[in-house]
């Protein structure tokens, strides 16, 4: 209980108003919404006793808004299209439309000579839906930033720039070729390998033979 009270106190006023309106909407489901009259008797029924798809949609919206308030109190990181205020106002407007439609199109209850009327509990639900619309407007007016989403703020993968080349595949400048040759690692770092036998004789031609000296002439 102490933790829940501390969490509620940490919420901004517009969020507390949103949670209170959604909680009042859920509480109105146990109040008398309809007055059922039959031959010789009349009783009241709440929204849970006459549960159709309309009441189910209203209850689902109220629970969803309560979950949104709880998630923001826990600093959950997610983004809603248009922001929290717009979503809450749209949810309250949808509930108002369903309740107004239910005023004119009452649920059908089987029974001889049975009529269905409106009781005071449905007007409490109308007030809670109106408060939900007003709370959404206050959330939008406050303009509080949503918790940061680390997935959405992660840097995107950047493709390294591609080197432009001509149509023939050669670099545009001759200096790039010189730089590539300078950065090329040497083919051999140690001592030169010994020459195979006979390589010197094949590589160097033999020296020319010296002609013999001419013989001495007597005459």
Is residue 91 within 8 Å of residue 136, measured between CB atoms? Answer: yes
pLDDT digits (tens, 9 = 90+) for 167-196: 555 555 556 666 666 766 666 566 666 666
pLDDT bracket for residue 55 (50, 70, 90): very high
Encoded tokens for 171: 């670099």
Sign of the torsion formed by the C-alpha atoms of 90, 95, 101 and 103 = negative
Q: Region 90-95: what's the mean pLDDT?
A: 95
CB atoms under 10 Å from CB of 57, counted, come to 13
Highest mean pLDDT among 41-45, 123-127, 135-139, 142-146: 123-127
Judged against a pLDDT cut of 60, whether residue 151 lies above it is answered with no
Judged against a pLDDT cut of 80, whether residue 166 lies above it is answered with no
Q: What angle do CA 134, 11, 4 make, to 5 degrees?
A: 120
What is the rounded average pLDDT for all residues in the chain?
78
% of the chain at pLDDT higher than 90:
31
CB atoms under 10 Å from CB of 48, counted, come to 11
pLDDT of residue 181: 67
% of the chain at pLDDT higher than 70:
60
Can you tell me which residue has the tokens 């439309």? 97
pLDDT of residue 118: 87
pLDDT bracket for residue 157 (50, 70, 90): low
Give the lowest-confidence range in 27-31, 138-142, 202-206: 202-206
Q: Which residues contact 115 (CB under 8 A, 6 or more apart)?
A: 36, 37, 38
Question: H/E element holding 117?
Answer: strand 115-118
pLDDT bracket for residue 42 (50, 70, 90): confident
Judged against a pLDDT cut of 90, whether residue 111 lies above it is answered with no
> Does residue 106 sit in helix, strand or coil?
coil
Judged against a pLDDT cut of 90, whether residue 214 lies above it is answered with no
Half-sphere exposure of 95 (CA within 13 A, CB side): 34
Domain ranges of the chain: 9-142
pLDDT of residue 219: 46
- What whole-number distance in Å separates Cα of residue 183 and Cα of residue 201? 36
Q: Region 36-43: what's the mean pLDDT?
A: 81
Q: Region 159-166: what's the mean pLDDT?
A: 60
* Higher pLDDT pick, 87 / 2: 87
37 pairs with which residues across the strands? 42, 115
């Amino acid at each position: 209980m102490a933790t829940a009270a501390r969490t509620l106190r940490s919420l901004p006023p517009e969020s507390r108003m949103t949670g209170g309106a959604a909680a009042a909407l859920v509480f109105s489901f146990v109040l008398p919404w309809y007055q059922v009259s039959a031959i010789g008797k009349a009783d009241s029924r709440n929204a849970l006793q006459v549960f159709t798809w309309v009441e189910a949609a209203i209850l689902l919206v109220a629970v969803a808004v309560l979950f949104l308030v709880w998630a923001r109190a826990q600093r959950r990181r997610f983004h809603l299209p248009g922001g929290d205020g717009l979503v809450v106002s749209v949810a309250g407007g949808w509930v108002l439309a369903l309740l107004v439609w239910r005023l004119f199109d009452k649920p059908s209850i089987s029974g001889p000579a049975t009529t269905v009327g409106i009781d005071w509990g449905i007007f409490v639900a109308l007030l809670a839906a109106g408060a939900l619309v007003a709370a959404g407007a206050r959330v939008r007016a406050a303009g509080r930033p949503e918790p940061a989403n680390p997935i959405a703020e992660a840097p995107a993968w950047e493709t390294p720039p591609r080197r432009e080349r001509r149509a023939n595949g050669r670099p545009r400048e001759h200096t790039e070729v010189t730089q590539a040759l300078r950065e090329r690692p040497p083919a051999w770092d140690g001592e030169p390998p010994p020459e195979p036998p006979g390589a010197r004789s094949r590589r160097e031609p033999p020296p020319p033979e010296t002609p013999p000296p001419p013989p001495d002439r007597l005459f």
